[in-house]
Structure 1
């Protein structure tokens, strides 16, 4: 019997192409690397706000770099990633709040489907340039991931409940706390 797997937490938002790349690599190699992967849906906007960081797309030189970097990494890692045609509208106007709330409730009630539903949402926004904010879009992703239509509708109706909102906020806060320095140096 080998060593017990190490736990690795992935805090992610389907609005982040880099999160998708990390997600796919970790899912692909978790067994080989003997990792127990804990998927943690999080709001990247909350992390940006907490850190005082600006999204790379708002900084012209970083935006150019990210565009090329994401394309090359997608090719190298064999992830079918393509920037949405109206990148700024998708990222800054539409966002991912409802999608991330939906993933939060999926994690709470159907953790066995979290990986598949997450991947389908990433495929919609980053591979097929499709919506992830409208109820029908989220339902389509859930159904493609293997969730029944009735169950997906039931979960979607509960994305604005205090339980789901609080859980997403707690997870985002936990991600932010990883950035705090320990030991005072």
Structure 2
């Protein structure tokens, strides 16, 4: 019987390049390490609304927002660019517009406050921050995308660089 998966929560901002690097590395390792992974006020509220209603789309929409800001040099604080990124990620236009309309609601603002307070309780001091739930205990394991090897040690797994060999073979 395999070990129970550890749960990682990545606290990030899509305007932070280092958050993107940390996000991509954790996505590459989640199957190797037996983990699951789970922002600019308007864009952060938009991602909060996505997370609340379609959490399975959060990673895809976040990745597209990073691509728009860091690869295409687009201003993702503008509504049309937020919508374009969400649609490119696979969200229907009507859904993306719905999420955009929700960014100013108290429900979304309260959820974002809860998330920010949780980050504070975990003593997050930089982005990205990884909170690991391992064997029933919670650890604020690292701040920064250059500390992933410390996360591997906490999980009892091997760090093989930013592109693990199994993924490298597929690229």
TM-score normalised by the chain length of structure 2: 0.70
**Aligned residue in 2 for 1:18:** 18
> Offset at 1:8?
1.0
Q: Deviations over 1:46-72 (max 9, x none)?
A: xxxxxxxxxxxxxxxxxxxxxxxxxxx
Segments of structure 2 that go 5 or more residues without pairing to the other structure are 125-171
Find the partner of 2:94 among 138, 146, 150.
150
**Aligned residue in 1 for 2:50:** 106
**Aligned residue in 2 for 1:91:** none
Q: Deviations over 1:101-151 (max 9, x none)?
A: 000010000011100000011111111111101111110000000000011
Q: Deviations over 1:20-70 (max 9, x none)?
A: 1000000111011111212xxxx4xxxxxxxxxxxxxxxxxxxxxxxxxxx
**Aligned residue in 1 for 2:61:** 117
Distance 2:119 2:113 in 1: 10
The within-5 A match list for 1:16-165 is: 16-38=16-38, 43=39, 96-165=40-109
Consecutive aligned runs of 4 or more in structure 1 exceeding 2 Å deviation: none
**Aligned residue in 1 for 2:133:** none
Number of corresponding residues: 124
Find the partner of 1:168 among 109, 112, 122.
112
How much is the aligned-residue C-alpha RMSD, in angstroms? Answer: 1.2
Q: Deviations over 1:147-171 (max 9, x none)?
A: 0001111111111000001111110
Segments of structure 1 that go 5 or more residues without pairing to the other structure are 44-95, 181-185
TM-score normalised by the chain length of structure 1: 0.65
Distance 2:92 2:59 in 1: 16
